[in-house]
Amino acid sequence: MTRIIACANLKGGEGKTTLARHIAYHAASKGLKTLAVDLDPQGNLTDSLLPDANGYSNSTELFDAGFAADDLRLAASDENLWLLPADARLDALAEIPGDRAAFVNRVRMNLRAIDGFDVIVVDTPTNAPICYLSGLAVADGAVSPVQMDAYGISGAVRLTQAIQRVRAHYNPKLIHIGFVVNRFNSRAASHGELLEQFRAKRLRLLSTVLRERVAVQDALGRRTPVWCGPRGRVNTRAAREMRAMCAEVLARVGL
């Protein structure tokens, strides 16, 4: 059975796409047939996995009433890894007249119709409600990056509430895999204090903490996961942390 993981947060800049691309790369490296789906109009996941995605099917097609999974032309990004890229038309979905629930349920049905994959990783936006609701509505589990600042904590609380609404209206089986502490600086007293506040709110945290590391941005520039790169340029600590986070996420959905 295909497992679907949504990377979601209602606050921008927390690192959703970083999580999504590394979870997809990690799953593929473990021999799992993996599909990355970019539902974010900004298309950052698309750019990081396959900059030239012209000529392939795109994620906007999931919203079409005439969608046919067998007709998809998926872009191969790496061994065991395929991409359903974003398209500029995702921005226009907010202007389409009609029942939002109908579009969300359509995406849920259409994405579930895509077979042949062990895992599907969905990158969702913060500012396109139909898109992020669709990603959560179809997912088995949602994982959320969070940075240690006051805005990050308030965003985490709002996401928890949004997940409860999605369970009530679209997807009662959705689990929240948890929050991943991202870009943590152990030398910053405020980060430690905010982490304690986060725990006090009883928000579910993954055990792996991703620390502030330049290597993650360097890997993005190379369009590779942080554990790949030229000899001498791979930060083993960053690679170990990211691999551990990915393994923890997959384990939470039974992979």
| Most confident of the following: 111-115, 123-127, 192-196, 211-215 | 111-115
Percent of the chain whose predicted confidence (pLDDT) is above 90: 65
CB-based burial label for 66 (10 Å; 0-12, 13-18, 19+): exposed
Contact status, residue 128 vs residue 90, Cβ threshold 8 Å = yes
Residues with Cβ within 8 Å of residue 214, at least 6 apart in sequence: 235
Output the CA torsion sign for 54, 221, 192, 250.
positive
Percent of the chain whose predicted confidence (pLDDT) is above 70: 96
Question: What pLDDT does 251 receive?
Answer: 97
Question: What pLDDT does 40 receive?
Answer: 94
| All structural domains of the chain with their residue ranges | 3-252
Question: What pLDDT does 11 receive?
Answer: 82
Mean local confidence (pLDDT), 89-95? 80
What does the pLDDT look like over 196-238, one tens digit per residue?
888 888 889 999 999 998 889 889 888 999 998 777 666 889 9
What does the pLDDT look like over 42-52, one tens digit per residue?
999 999 998 78
Mean local confidence (pLDDT), 175-200? 87
The pLDDT-based confidence of 97 (bands split at 50, 70, 90) is: low
CATH of domain 3-252: 3.40.50.300
What does the pLDDT look like over 138-170, one tens digit per residue?
999 999 999 888 787 888 888 999 999 999 999
Question: What pLDDT does 190 receive?
Answer: 85
Question: What pLDDT does 165 receive?
Answer: 95
Question: What pLDDT does 95 receive?
Answer: 67
What does the pLDDT look like over 11-36, one tens digit per residue?
888 899 999 999 999 999 999 999 99
Q: What is the pTM of this model?
A: 0.95
CA distance 168 to 52: 39
Strand partners, 123: 7, 38
Average pLDDT along the chain: 91
For 34, the 3-state DSSP assignment is strand
Mean local confidence (pLDDT), 70-96? 89
